[in-house]
Amino acid sequence: MPSLKAYKNRISSVKSTQKITRAKQMVAAAKLRRAEEAAKASRPYTERMEAVLANLAKAAKDAPNAPTLLRGTGEDKTHLLIVATADKGLCGAFNSSIVRLARERIVKLQGEGKKVKIVTVGRKGNDQLKRLYGELIVWKMDFVDVRQIGFQQAHEIAERVLSMFEAGEFDVATLFFGKFKSVISQIPTAQQIIPAIAPEGLETPDLKGAVYDYEPDEGEILKALLPRYVAVQIFRALLENVASEQAASMTAMDNATRNAGDMIDKLTLQYNRARQAQITKELIEIISGAEAL
């Protein structure tokens, strides 16, 4: 049986672990609020962008000179998977579930004889994927030294992805990220971003019979709009990812704090029992010593 001292040490170590997890939970809650706000602030832009694109794409989709970003390259050979995860752990299965989704896709695509290229955004995804698919990773990016993810970062990623697309390095790009549904539910999601899928079911504004004037013309606008649309989608995915990460981290840390509490209770009980046993033992020793006289 461990000594009383050993019990005491274990209790105090679990207690300090609990302190850490509780602090981390509170930090995550605060960060989650900020992330949600950032996601909310970006929503009007995204929604309007989608409306504008839906409006334009309807007219331009069937045109033979539609940009390849919208129409696709006409092939389906090389796939680029952009896997966005968090930079830090301590957030439950958040990173692993995104990576798992991406891995299933890789296996499926490779089974169909297609070429796969990977871009990882966030350190954890890179760590997990490079073990199995190290040679497929084309480049990686992380935000370890970025405090708040802004449009700038999304723009950078979009620019690199687009220049790869222009160089004909892939045909289809899919973005993997954790969609933020609620604090307790984050859904790993795969979203195709190139060729762009125009959002459907959006109402186009009622023009009351008037016709749009395009300056310089539809093609030019679409050409400028599509790359931005790609960046906007990446931006939204990054923001959702941050919110999801914090939410997952909050839940995970909440569980950890509770588990630590249970463990402290159990250890305290054992400690008390051991203390009682020791007292009883000492008493027996004294009594039997007295009887022997």
Partner 1 sequence: MADKLHFNLVSPERELASEEVDQVDVPGAEGMFGVLAKHSPMMTNLKPGVVTIRNGGDSRRIFVRGGFAEVTPAGLTILAEEAVPVKELDAAAITQRIKNCEQDLADKDSTEATRERAQAELSELKELQAAL
- Least CB distance to partner 1 at residue 203 (A): 11
Task: Give the span between the Cα atoms of 267 and 2, in whole angstroms.
Answer: 12
**Residue linked to tokens 């695509």:** 109
Which of 32, 52, 86, 91 is flagged as catalytic?
91
- How many residues bind partner 1 (CB under 8 A)? The answer is 32
Binding residues among 157-176 for partner 1 as defined by CB under 8 A: none
- Report if residue 49 touches partner 1, rule: CB under 8 A: yes
> At closest approach, how far in Å is the CB of 206 from partner 1?
7
Rule CB under 8 A: is residue 2 a binding residue for partner 1? no
* Residue number, 45 or 281, with CB nearest to partner 1: 45
Beta carbon nearer to partner 1, 8 or 214:
214
Q: Which two tokens stand for residue 192?
A: 């195709």
Q: Which residues lie closer than 8 Å to 264 by C-beta, 6 or more apart? A: 11, 14, 15, 18
Q: Which of 8, 19, 34, 48 binds partner 1 (CB under 8 A)?
A: 48
Pairing of strands 137-141, 115-121: parallel
In the structure encoding, which two tokens stand for residue 223, read together?
């050409």
Alpha-carbon distance values, 172 to 35, 176, 235, 255 (Å): 29, 13, 19, 39
Site for partner 1 in 95-154 (CB under 8 A): 150-151, 154
Query: Rounded to the nearest whole angstrom, what is the least distance from the CB of residue 162 to partner 1 in the complex?
Result: 14
The tokens describing 182, both together, are 């609620």
Task: Please list every residue from 185 through 224 that binds partner 1, using CB under 8 A.
Answer: 205-208, 210-216, 220-221, 224
Burial of 151 (0-12, 13-18, 19+ CB in 10 A): middle
Q: How far apart are CA 133 and CA 131, in angstroms?
A: 6
Q: Which is nearer to partner 1, 48 or 281 (CB)?
A: 48
Site string for partner 1, 28-47 (x = CB under 8 A): ----------x--xx-xxx-
Angstrom distance (rounded) from CA 129 to CA 87: 14
Q: Judged by CB, which is closer to partner 1: 166, or 262?
A: 166
Burial level of 139, CB count in 10 A (0-12/13-18/19+)? middle
**Residue 91 annotated among the catalytic residues of the structure:** yes
Query: Site residues (CB under 8 A) for partner 1?
Result: 38, 41-42, 44-46, 48-49, 52, 56, 150-151, 154-155, 205-208, 210-216, 220-221, 224-225, 228, 232, 235
Active site residues: 91
